[in-house]
Amino acid sequence: MTDETIFAAALEKADPASRTHYLEEVCAGNPELHQRIENLLRAHDKAGGFLENSPVPAASPANLLTQDLTGPESGSDDLKETMTFLRPSERSGSLGRIGHYEVLEVLGRGGFGIVFRALDETLQRVVAVKVMAPHLAVASPARKRFLREARSSARVRHEHIVQVYAVEEDPIPYLVMEFIPGETLQQRLDRTGPLELEEVLLFGKQIAEGLEAAHAQGLIHRDIKPGNILIESGAQLSIKITDFGLARTADDASLTQSGIIAGTPMYMAPEQAHGDKLDHRADLFSLGSVLYTMCSGRTPFRARSALAVLKRVAEDTPRDIREIIPEVPQWLCDLIARLHAKNPEERIGTAQEVADLLGQGLAALQTGQTESTPVITPVTDKPREAESRIPERREVIAQPDPTHQHKPRKRRWDIALAVFVFLFFVLGPGGFILREIAHRIFSPAR
């Protein structure tokens, strides 16, 4: 039996005594397996209601590469148990040591790991150290994702991308990266609501420039969202893109082979939600959603569950921003609409073009020369042949067969949630199955 199967079966046993007896029986002689399932069950309890509520986790501290992190004050006893990999330190106030890094404080923690503020004793600089959760370090998919994040991030050097300094695997996989004091764009939006137009244009331009650098290296980020945009504290406004844990090379076809769709529902592109092969234009769609959110203070595609959000991403047009914030200039609304084209061929071609248009609009705003604002060609959004199958697939998701019996439907949802949570804590907050759920769970029972 796989971990997923055992985890799903354990979830069905609501009585704690029955669950304990089941795990003791099925995991007999395998304490590592027993511990892994217990960790998943605890994670499931903490994530309760995830599908029924917002499909995007709360924003993390700004100094982190992952968004599924909470403050160090939560679960302090559990935190101590997971920090056994730290060696003792003689330094006063230190939490311990890992490699030649003196760990100073916990910045945040989540299902995928812990992030520390630390001192690099060799170079005498403050860094952020992201340590993989011990119970995931033995899982091959999670370990590979962790290492892929390091390698993907390290390939790109740009002022608007968080720099990875090193990746280590002993005594446990961890990344050493640039420490960014400040907050995430998501935290800023939560704190202030819609941003001023000048900030929208400046941040949007910088995000696009960072994406252009990644795309030039053949990388697609696949998870551009406010929680992965860090705003540096200081007199000069500047952002950095973080969390390349989902990044893939443009010629990686495994996206369509695995059946796993990774990303954050409210910000992913339609072709990403379909599980189709992606190119750099998927990131541009996500950038359009980030621009929309900065302008309006709300996400463009909203619904009560992750799957309902994906349906909206695939089929719907967002509400006109000017209905929410009338002051947003029409040219910017047109630009966002182009980025939100369902057909990638109808979007702006490159991140650099987007950066240039936003820069032109920013210059016009700062100089008062409104006649110099960009002119954006309206989107025609002619569907590709591949998109002709979307309605049929989405109808299956949105409209389960009314002849289904209530109990089997609930059973399929329970399994869906079990698999979802398992992948959530192995792949991180952006990873979950859609294709298998769509065809096996929501399709009519045979």
Asked if 290 contacts 226 with a C-beta cutoff of 8 angstroms, the reply is: yes
Whether the bond into 141 is cis, omega within 30 of 0: no
Alpha-carbon radius of gyration of the chain:
22
| Cβ contact 425:43 at 8 Å | yes
Q: What does each C-alpha distance from 219 to 99, 119, 351 come to in angstroms?
A: 30, 30, 12
Q: How many Cα atoms within 13 Å fall on the side-chain side of residue 176?
A: 22
Please confirm, yes or no, whether 334 is among the known catalytic residues.
no
Count of CB atoms within 10 A of residue 46's CB? 16
Write the single-letter amino acid at 181: P
Q: Where are the alpha helices (DSSP H) in 319-441?
A: 321-324, 330-339, 351-367, 390-398, 406-427, 435-436
Choose the catalytic residue: 68, 120, 223, 283: 223
CA distance 207 to 211: 6
d(CA 22, CA 18): 6
Q: Which is nearest to 172 in space by CA: 105, 82, 94, 109?
A: 82
Tokens of 10: 């354990």
**Looking at this protein, which amino acid is placed at residue 58?**
A
Question: 């599908």: which residue's tokens?
Answer: 51
412 three-state secondary structure: helix
**Can you tell me the distance from the alpha carbon of 66 to that of 64, in angstroms, rounded to the nearest whole number?**
6
Three-state DSSP class for residue 167:
strand
Question: Is residue 41 classed exposed, middle or buried when 0-12, 13-18 and 19+ CB atoms within 10 A define those classes?
Answer: middle
Q: What is the dihedral of CA 335, 341, 345, 350, to 10 degrees?
A: 40
Tell me: is residue 144 an annotated ligand-binding position.
Answer: no
Which residues are part of the catalytic machinery? Answer: 223
Binding site residues for ATP, as ranges? 130
Binding site residues, as ranges? 130
